[in-house]
Structure 1
């Protein structure tokens, strides 16, 4: 399976469901081995950071078997709105 930023973005939007997702391939040569994601979902309301990360990890369980480094930021729509207005 070839993992792309678009594949990760589409899967998170569909399965969480996320209202906003940013995915960056942070591999030195863009070889899809390292990704950084920002996920905004109302599903994160009332959840701890660990619970949020577990939700993302569960969504991407197959993809994470092939990814060497995965950095994630998980926030609610309200938190995202506050960050955008700063």
Structure 2
């Protein structure tokens, strides 16, 4: 069963307090999403470390119930 966009957003916000999260369903199938995440926890971290923080917030769901996530991250400006 696929994850809903609202659930993805909730998990990221809970895992990264203060984050701004925008989720888009790329294919309209509830399985292929894009997420743009701006979070203060990303400050001074390389992109790979930023993505790792998001994956940790998702609690191991990537590759399972969350099939595909195109991820864009940045620290607040």
- TM-score (normalizing by structure 1): 0.77
Cα distance in 2 for partners of 1:71, 1:15 equals 18
RMSD: 1.6
For residue 66 of structure 1, what is the aligned residue in structure 2?
Answer: 65
Q: Secondary structure at the match of 1:61?
A: coil
Deviations 1:20-68 (CA, angstroms, capped at 9, x unpaired)? 10001112xx232111000010000110000001111111133311233
Greater RCO between the two (CA within 8 Å, min separation 6)?
2
For residue 34 of structure 1, what is the aligned residue in structure 2?
Answer: 32
Report runs of 4+ in structure 1 exceeding 4 Å deviation.
none
Gaps of 5+ in 2: none
- TM-score (normalizing by structure 2): 0.85
Cα distance in 2 for partners of 1:24, 1:17 equals 20
Matched, 1:77 2:67: no
Matched, 1:13 2:13: yes
For residue 43 of structure 1, what is the aligned residue in structure 2?
Answer: 41
Gaps of 5+ in 1: 79-86
